[in-house]
Amino acid sequence: MTGQTALLVIDVQNDFCPGGALAVAGGDQVVAQINAMMGEYPVRVLTQDWHPADHLSFATSHPGAEPFSLWDAPYGRQVLWPRHCVQGSKGAAFHAGLRADAADLIIRKGFRREIDSYSAFFENDHTTPTGLAGYLRERGVDSVMVVGLATDYCVRYSAVDAAKQGFKATVKMDACRAIDLDGSLAEALGDLKSHEVTLA
Active site residues: 11, 109, 154
Angle at CA of residue 89, ends 15 and 16, nearest 5°:
10
- Cα–Cα dist 92/188, whole Å: 24
Taking the complex as a whole, the smallest distance from the CB of residue 84 to ligand VGL amounts, in Å, to: 6
Query: In whole angstroms, what is the distance from residue 52 CA to residue 108 CA?
Result: 12
Binding partner at 91 among Zn ion, ligand VGL, none, C-beta below 5 to 8 Å by kind: none
Write out the binding residues for ligand VGL, residues 64-93 only, by CB under 6 A.
81
Q: Could you tell me the smallest distance in angstroms from the CB atom of residue 64 to ligand VGL? A: 20
Q: What is residue 83's DSSP assignment? A: S
Burial of 106 (0-12, 13-18, 19+ CB in 10 A): middle
- Angle among Cα 163, 167, 173 to the nearest 5 degrees reads 65
Q: Of the ranges 66-74, 88-96, 150-158, 184-192, which one interacts with ligand VGL (CB under 6 A)?
A: 150-158
Contact between 150 and ligand VGL (CB under 6 A)? yes
Which residues in 82-141 contact ligand VGL (CB under 6 A)?
A: none
Residues near ligand VGL, by CB under 6 A: 11, 16, 49, 81, 149-150, 153-154
